Structure 1
Amino acid sequence: METELEFSAGDLARLRFAVSPLWEVGTSFRLLAAGRAHPVHRRWIEQVRPRVAAAGLDRDRLAELVPCDGYVPDFLNPAPTGPAPTLAEELTALRAAPAERIRRDLVRLEREQGLSLGPRLRALYDEPQAQLPKVAEEIETYWQLALAPYWARIRAVLDADVLHRARQLAEHGVAHLLNDLHTVAGWEGATLRLRQRRRGMSRAAAGAGLVLVPSAFTGPGLLTRVTPPDPPQLAYPARGTGTLWQPRPTPAADALAAVLGRSRTRLLAELEIPAATTDLARRTGLSPAAVSQSLTALRDAGLVSAHRAGRWVLYARTATADALLTSRAPESAEPSPPAPPGRPEPTARR
């Protein structure tokens, strides 16, 4: 099936990019729920799935709202208000979703899944404003367990994609940008065509403009959200996702150890994979007390971030720490030869 979305000059003037935490929540949760091995995200899945299961998130509201396949309720992806909203900002918009939109989305979810709503989603249907905070709380817990410790790395990939696309737009125009976005997307005249889309999409059923959302977890396809009066959203696979979880070399580790000490540098190197204090103690041979003391110092220095969700406290390297560990020292310039004995050093003329 092919669908078309026509654009006016005003729509093109409103075309923009946005990095959305909630899009990454939904797409990554679906990936975990699928229960399959994944060639790109295997390392992340192996680390995150046990934590999500231990927190019970694989059996709660979020698991019912985000099925392994098919429709995901549109109220989970409110239109981003800027180029890079925070999770807190997006959750504020989610909590403000109109009751009629939530009920309409749940009816569609029930119809497309061919299953009756469970007790939790039925309560959400009956009392949206009372139940939405519980959905937001689950999303926040999932974020802290599954995405926040990795967000600096994920965000770097998403930002790099936006910069690349923005340069395409500036150098070649809208047609080139949209034709290069994905193999199923094509621009012709003033129309964006999307092939292999299950449902139709028309400008009459969409708001003005277009929001392009790069994602690390969408998989090979395109995902859309069309809920007027919001602009349509098009989530697409970000460039560079294939290398997202590859181990990074740390050429500056020895030089950094001379400043921080070997134990703290070792901890930073181990935090290539976010971990709890007990995990780091087991992997490094340091005592839990020594690990905790070092992590506090590294966090105070802005090199480590802490992410709490229930009984879990996960530590992760910050972008600053990544830059310090992966940078290479510049080659030193050859020193100038000393002045001959008895002759003064040259002075600059005024």
Structure 2
Amino acid sequence: MIRYRLGAGATSVRWATSPVHEVVSLARLLTEPRRHPVFHPWLRRRRQRLAGLDLSALTDFMADGAYRPDFLDPTPPTSDPTFDEGMAALLAAPVEQVHAELVDATARLEPTARRRLLDDPARTRADAAAAVRRLWRAAVEPEWPSMRQALRAELLDRAVQVNREGLRAVLPRLHPSVTSDGDTVTVESAVDVETDCPDGLILVPSLFITDRVQCTTSDHWSPAICYPATGRYLWSAPATPRSLDRLLGATRARILAALTTPLQTTVVAHLVSVTNPTASEHLTVLRDAGLIDSTRTGRTVTHELTAAGRAVLDAAPTHR
């Protein structure tokens, strides 16, 4: 078990996003893609972007469920850090921390490869950071606006739930392995660790983990738990109520259901298998009907449900 000892109540917990965590989790996903079929369509569409990327400095010690060193995944310094802020924290990880974590992370490697990584931990850290940056630019940065919106929507939803029901009621919903008892948050784990959280515990939703939580207990970072976010509609569209098919048409109904998570136009088009111009036409109709809002930042347009759109979805009685 991993036990996090908190201070008093929900004030000892804060929520944050982490673009670096998303990149590192995607890297691990690429070492075991069969385990996560929900991502297969997304990965197929990005095959060209990912082809030829040298990620070995990042994935060498990730295969077969090996321990992922904490220095790769620094605790977010703020609730909504930039990728560069996260990278600065990664590169600032103390060399002694990097070496200590690599001892465990490389235990399954053959001796020559292990010695190469352990003999120069500063270089190992720099090489891993360079691989993180390559994967960010190739696959995550182009879609970060939608991902960030989905994660921010998750944080808002959880904040509302905690205010309404209390932290103890909400924690088990993050993942079945997480529970709360008094001032202690417990995560089921094969390791036995207790850690104090003098500056609080950070909860980080992740779009690229599905069946586990990832815990940080390093003395060099604030303790954190990364858990599967609910914004899965970035990868596959949810089922839609049959009644909405008849009311709105099948494509618009699917778009409306997908926008439970805020999404960019290109992501919407991929989810419902239409061209970008066709998606834009459907989105315009839904916006004119007052069911969605659209926000432009530069050349990026992000769409999300209005209160009326949520009411329409909530009122639909049956799903496929």
Tell me the secondary structure at the aligned position of residue 40 of structure 1. helix
The equivalent residue for 1:201 is 193
Return the match for 1:100 from 96, 100, 106: 96
Which amino acid is 2:229 matched to?
A
Return the match for 1:88 from 84, 88, 107: 84
Alpha carbons of structure 1 residues 189 and 207: separation in structure 2 relative to 1, 3 Å: closer
The equivalent residue for 2:242 is none
Alpha carbons of structure 1 residues 118 and 20: separation in structure 2 relative to 1, 3 Å: farther
Per-residue deviation, 1:184:
1.6
Query: Which structure 2 residues correspond to residues 1-350 of structure 1 after superposition, within 5 A?
Result: 2-9=1-8, 12-36=10-34, 38-57=36-55, 60-111=56-107, 114-116=108-110, 119=113, 122-195=115-188, 197-204=189-196, 208-242=199-233, 244-246=235-237, 272=269, 302-303=298-299, 318=300, 320=301, 322-323=302-303
The equivalent residue for 2:281 is none
Per-residue deviation, 1:44:
1.2
Which amino acid is 2:95 matched to?
A
Per-residue deviation, 1:68:
4.1
Tell me the secondary structure at the aligned position of residue 185 of structure 2. strand
Output one character per residue of 1:21-80: Cα deviation in whole Å (capped at 9) or x when no partner.
Answer: 1211122111121141643211111123453232233xx211213324131011001121
The TM-score with structure 2 as length reference comes to 0.71
Output one character per residue of 1:247-301: Cα deviation in whole Å (capped at 9) or x when no partner.
Answer: 99579xxxxxxxxxxxxxxxx769945xxxxxx9xxxxxxxxxxxxxxxxxxxx9
Which amino acid is 1:194 matched to?
V
Write the distance in 1 (CA, Å) between the matches of 2:208 and 2:103.
Answer: 26
Write the distance in 2 (CA, Å) between the matches of 1:270 and 1:193.
Answer: 36
Which amino acid is 1:69 matched to?
G
Write the distance in 2 (CA, Å) between the matches of 1:156 and 1:129.
Answer: 34
Which amino acid is 2:224 matched to?
Q
Q: Which runs of 5+ in 2 are unaligned?
A: 239-249, 254-264, 271-275, 277-296, 307-320
Per-residue deviation, 1:143:
0.8
Structure having the higher Rg: 1
Alpha carbons of structure 1 residues 106 and 270: separation in structure 2 relative to 1, 3 Å: closer
Tell me the secondary structure at the aligned position of residue 41 of structure 1. helix
Identity %: 29
Per-residue deviation, 1:154:
1.8
Write the distance in 2 (CA, Å) between the matches of 1:207 and 1:230.
Answer: 12
The TM-score with structure 1 as length reference comes to 0.65
Per-residue deviation, 1:91:
0.8
Output one character per residue of 1:79-132: Cα deviation in whole Å (capped at 9) or x when no partner.
Answer: 211011111111111111111001001101123xx323654x644433333443
Write the distance in 1 (CA, Å) between the matches of 2:32 and 2:217.
Answer: 25
Q: Which runs of 5+ in 1 are unaligned?
A: 252-267, 274-279, 281-300, 304-317, 328-350
Please provide the CA RMSD for this pair: 3.3
Alpha carbons of structure 1 residues 202 and 138: separation in structure 2 relative to 1, 3 Å: same
Write the distance in 2 (CA, Å) between the matches of 1:99 and 1:229.
Answer: 11
Tell me the secondary structure at the aligned position of residue 169 of structure 1. helix
Write the distance in 2 (CA, Å) between the matches of 1:136 and 1:4.
Answer: 30
Tell me the secondary structure at the aligned position of residue 54 of structure 1. coil
Contact 1:179-1:185 at 8 Å conserved across structures: yes
Tell me the secondary structure at the aligned position of residue 71 of structure 1. coil
Which amino acid is 1:84 matched to?
D
Tell me the secondary structure at the aligned position of residue 44 of structure 2. helix
Which amino acid is 1:71 matched to?
Y
Contact 2:17-2:204 at 8 Å conserved across structures: yes
Per-residue deviation, 1:221:
1.5
Of 229-238 and 73-82, more deviation after overlay is shown by 229-238
Write the distance in 2 (CA, Å) between the matches of 1:117 and 1:94.
Answer: 26
Which amino acid is 1:103 matched to?
H
